[in-house]
């Protein structure tokens, strides 16, 4: 436009070009002011299983005037666009992919805006010491919970004394011999194991690393244990967790479950612990 105005000595061409230049320059100030004075602070991180998404919560506040189109983005492509009223504070959920178990940090957060005209982009980088726990991906479909340890007298007694036969299920390697439904085997109907339900609630479990099939690698074991921990929740059973370097006493409830999942997520436990 400038070149055309120059070549043809179009005064109004110059005027139009420069008016647009003024508009662009003013847009720069507006973009700057839109981002300037936005306060961002970390609130918390969620929890997730590997392969799903982990969410982080941040709070976004505008000290002075209203803000439009403030985009909060993680290092990945995920972003959230927020409009803020004057003086308002708003919670923003940032979702990040959680590919691997363990502790996942939020990383660098980019705060940017191209309001009002999309011609300029103002941005700021923020780092927060905010991280979430990514649990191992539960094995799916996971085999049913183990029936308990044959060698444990306590368990045997429980079953002997007041257990009722609850049903049969497919036999699975490692089921104790005395649980096999031999009658069914004899009839030639296939291999089943008997399931009992204790009269005083479901029986306590010990989820042990060592009980898992020997061919499993670490991640497969963690994955199955995670699935089982989740299964105990569905069946409302207490459990203990035992793995090399990791000992979680018998317990139940959300906190216990989270402790178990966290321990599995961060496996192997750090030496210091």
Partner 1 sequence: MIFAAAPATPLARTQLAWLGALVLLAQLTVASHVLPWIAGSGAALVLIRFVLSPDRLPSPRLRRVLLPVLAFTFAVAIRIKFGYFLARDPCVDFLYVLVGIKYLETRNARDGGLLVCLAVFLLLTQFFYAQTIFAALLTLPVLLVLGGALAALREAPADAEWKAPLQRTGRMILQGIPIAALLFIFFPRLAGPLWGMPADAGAHTGLSERMAPGTIGALSLSDEVAFRVDFEATAPPPAQRYWRGPVLARFDGEAWTALSYLRRGEPVRASARTIEYTVTLEPHGQRWLFALEHAASLPSRPATDATSGGPPGDLALLTSDQQLLAKSPLMQSVRYTERSTLGDSFPSTGNIERRENLQLPRDRNPRTIERARELRAGVGSDRALIAAVLSSFRSEPFVYTLTPSPVGDEPVDGFLFDTRRGFCEHYASAFVVILRAAGIPARVVTGYQGGELNPDGGYLIVRQSDAHAWAEALLDGVWQRFDPTAAVAPSRIERGLGAALPLGEYVPYMAQLDMTWLKSLRLHWDAINYQWQRGVVGFNVDRQRDLLRDLGLGNARHWELVALVAGMITLWGVVLLALARRRALSADPAGALWLRVCRRLARAGLRRSPEEGPLAYAQRAARRWPQWAALFARIGNSYALLRYGPESEQRTKLIAALREGVAQLPGARKLRTQSPS
Contact set with partner 1 (CB under 8 A) = 1, 3-27, 29-30, 32-33, 64-65, 69, 81, 86-87, 114-121
Contact between residue 65 and residue 103 where contact means Cβ atoms under 8 Å apart = no
Would you say 113 or 226 has its CB closer to partner 1? 113
Would you say 5 or 52 has its CB closer to partner 1? 5
Give me the least distance between CB of 111 and partner 1, in Å please: 14
Strand ranges for 10-50 from DSSP E: 38-45, 47-49
Give me the least distance between CB of 203 and partner 1, in Å please: 48
Give me the least distance between CB of 107 and partner 1, in Å please: 21
Give me the least distance between CB of 37 and partner 1, in Å please: 8
Q: Which two tokens stand for residue 143?
A: 């085999």
Would you say 64 or 99 has its CB closer to partner 1? 64
Give me the least distance between CB of 12 and partner 1, in Å please: 4
Q: Which two tokens stand for residue 161?
A: 């004394």
Dist. CA 55–CA 252, nearest whole Å: 26
- If we measure between CA atoms, which residue out of 144, 157, 116, 151 comes closest to residue 31? 116
- If we measure between CA atoms, which residue out of 76, 153, 77, 73 comes closest to residue 113? 73
Would you say 116 or 143 has its CB closer to partner 1? 116
Q: How many CA atoms lie within 13 A of 128 on its CB side?
A: 22
Would you say 110 or 262 has its CB closer to partner 1? 110
């Amino acid at each position: 436009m400038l070149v055309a105005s120059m070549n043809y000595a179009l005064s109004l061409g110059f005027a139009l070009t420069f008016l647009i230049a003024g508009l662009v320059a003013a847009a720069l100030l507006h973009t700057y002011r839109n981002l300037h004075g936005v306060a961002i602070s970390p609130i918390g991180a969620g929890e997730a299983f590997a392969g799903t998404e982990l969410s982080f919560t941040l709070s976004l506040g505008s000290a002075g005037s209203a803000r439009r189109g403030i985009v909060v983005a993680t290092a990945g492509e995920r972003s959230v666009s927020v409009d803020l009223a004057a003086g308002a504070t708003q919670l923003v959920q940032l979702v990040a992919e959680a590919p691997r178990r363990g502790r996942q940090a939020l990383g660098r957060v980019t705060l940017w805006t191209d309001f009002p005209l999309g011609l300029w982009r103002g941005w700021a980088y923020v780092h927060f010491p905010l991280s979430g726990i990514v649990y191992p991906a539960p094995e799916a479909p996971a085999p049913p919970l183990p029936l308990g340890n044959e060698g444990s007298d306590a368990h045997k007694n429980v079953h002997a004394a007041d257990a009722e036969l609850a049903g049969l299920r497919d036999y699975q390697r490692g089921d104790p011999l005395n649980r096999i439904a031999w009658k069914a085997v004899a009839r030639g109907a296939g291999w089943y194991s008997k399931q009992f339900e204790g009269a005083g609630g479901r029986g306590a479990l010990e989820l042990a690393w060592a009980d898992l099939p020997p061919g499993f690698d670490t991640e497969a074991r963690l994955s199955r244990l995670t699935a089982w921990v989740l299964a105990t929740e569905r069946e409302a059973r207490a459990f203990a967790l035992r793995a090399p370097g990791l000992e979680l006493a018998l317990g139940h409830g959300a906190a216990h479950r989270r402790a178990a999942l966290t321990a599995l997520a961060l496996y192997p436990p750090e030496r210091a612990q």
